[in-house]
């Protein structure tokens, strides 16, 4: 059996996801460790705030920069192997060379849209320039579980943002805008029409942040803000993400009493993270599924771009954020139809977050959030 190594330390959130993704036995009774799917299965009952009680959920990292895995909860390299089904070892020099070759055009010109090996570059490009419609996640019992009732929520409401600046979308002249106020509750997904990014330079906005609503619930735990803004350069034949990436994090102080707020230091965390080079790929080539397509670093802070397989004909684009204030895995799940062509939209399946709670006062473990499920009162 071939094994695959992680190219850099995973946050607790990401390792927890990989553990659930491979369907491994956690050795405990925690019901939140479930097989990850990119579309929900039958609802599984749970209690609001259930956390994964393992070494992975305490903030311990599971791998070294050399690519070795120490294994949380007794796991080894098989965590990466079974959890991501990658076709290359991102931690070795030979794998880095293979990834570089794939990104520079060595793959077949007749590359499949999506396969067990990866996705074609024009599919990945669309995963980067298509804006997901649903941006309002609900807290769930697991990464593929049902939403908790609204009345059980404790964590600040959240928003997920993913967009290009300048926007490539255009207004839909046939869209009938709803009455004032309805926009607040539901983003009008048909108000703007998708247009593929033309050659040029854009800022890719990747963010998740606290978003307060006025419903009478007991929101007494924070959801810290994070914004990543790498530069995306698009050409006629490919695209690249810049070697430098600005990252800005802020604590969500609002849910806490003043005496606790005073202990939340630092309040903000800004950094320019750097990679050894830009991440470049060609639209006609296969981009291999990988735990780490690219890593950006500033001191102890890292951000990893991940491309993972999902269910049949599905792929996940993930950002694994490991900073002092925010330790979070944020993923989009897309469906690729058999007759898809560049210029068409992919099917939006889900967006989900695995939030490491060790950065919040008196918390541990992780909490899950998804956009594909509806919250009940």
Whether residue 375 lies inside any domain: the answer is: no
Whether residue 4 lies inside any domain: the answer is: no
Q: What is the pLDDT of residue 187?
A: 58
Whether residue 247 lies inside any domain: the answer is: yes
Helices (H), 219-335: 258-261
- How many residues make up the chain in this entry? 377
Q: What is the pLDDT of residue 218?
A: 80
Whether residue 325 lies inside any domain: the answer is: yes
Asked whether 6 and 81 are in contact (CB, 8 A), the reply is no
Which helix (H) or strand (E) segment holds residue 91: the answer is: none
How is residue 278 written in tokens?
């830009």
Whether residue 2 lies inside any domain: the answer is: no
Q: What is the pLDDT of residue 24?
A: 29
User: What is the domain count for the chain?
Assistant: 1
10-residue stretch averages of pLDDT, the chain, 377 residues long: 36 47 32 29 32 33 32 27 29 33 43 97 98 92 92 90 95 81 60 95 97 71 97 98 98 93 95 98 98 97 98 97 98 97 97 97 96 84
Q: Are strands 238-250 and 225-234 parallel, antiparallel or unpaired?
A: antiparallel
Whether residue 7 lies inside any domain: the answer is: no
Whether residue 295 lies inside any domain: the answer is: yes
Whether residue 334 lies inside any domain: the answer is: yes
Q: Which domain holds residue 225?
A: 12-370
Q: Which are the contacts of 294, defined by CB distance < 8 A and separation ≥ 6?
A: 241, 275, 279, 304, 305
């Amino acid at each position: 059996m071939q094994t695959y190594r992680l190219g850099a330390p995973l946050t607790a959130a990401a390792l927890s996801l990989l553990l659930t993704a491979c369907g491994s036995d956690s050795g405990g009774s925690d019901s939140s460790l479930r097989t990850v799917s990119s579309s929900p299965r039958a609802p599984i009952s749970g209690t609001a705030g259930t956390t994964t009680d393992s070494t992975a959920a305490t903030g311990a990292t599971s791998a070294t920069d050399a690519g070795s895995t120490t294994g949380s909860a007794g796991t080894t390299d098989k965590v990466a192997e079974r959890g991501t089904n990658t076709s290359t070892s991102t931690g070795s020099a030979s794998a880095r060379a293979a990834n570089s070759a794939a990104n520079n055009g060595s793959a077949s010109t007749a590359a499949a849209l999506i396969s067990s090996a990866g996705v074609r570059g024009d599919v990945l490009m669309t995963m980067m320039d298509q804006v997901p419609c649903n941006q309002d996640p609900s807290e769930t019992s697991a990464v593929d579980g049902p939403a908790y009732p609204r009345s059980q929520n404790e964590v600040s409401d959240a928003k997920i943002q993913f967009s290009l600046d300048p926007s490539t979308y255009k207004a839909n002249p046939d869209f009938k805008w709803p009455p004032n106020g309805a926009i607040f509750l539901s983003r009008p997904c048909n108000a703007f029409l998708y247009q593929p990014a033309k050659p040029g330079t854009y800022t890719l906005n990747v963010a998740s942040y606290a978003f307060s609503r006025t419903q009478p619930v007991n929101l007494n735990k924070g959801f810290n803000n994070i914004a990543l803004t790498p530069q995306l350069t698009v050409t006629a034949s490919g695209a690249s993400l810049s070697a430098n990436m600005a990252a800005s994090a802020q604590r969500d102080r609002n849910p806490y009493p003043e005496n606790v707020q005073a202990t939340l230091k630092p309040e903000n965390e800004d950094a320019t993270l750097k990679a050894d080079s830009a991440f470049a790929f060609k639209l006609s080539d296969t981009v291999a599924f990988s735990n780490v397509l690219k890593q950006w670093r500033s001191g102890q802070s890292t951000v990893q771009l991940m491309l993972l397989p999902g269910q049949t004909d599905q792929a996940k684009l993930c950002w694994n954020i490991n900073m002092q204030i925010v330790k979070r895995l944020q993923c989009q799940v897309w469906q690729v139809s058999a007759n898809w062509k560049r210029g068409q939209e992919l099917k939006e399946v889900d967006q989900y977050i695995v939030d490491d709670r060790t950065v919040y006062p008196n918390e541990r473990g992780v909490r899950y959030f998804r956009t594909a499920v509806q919250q009940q009162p």
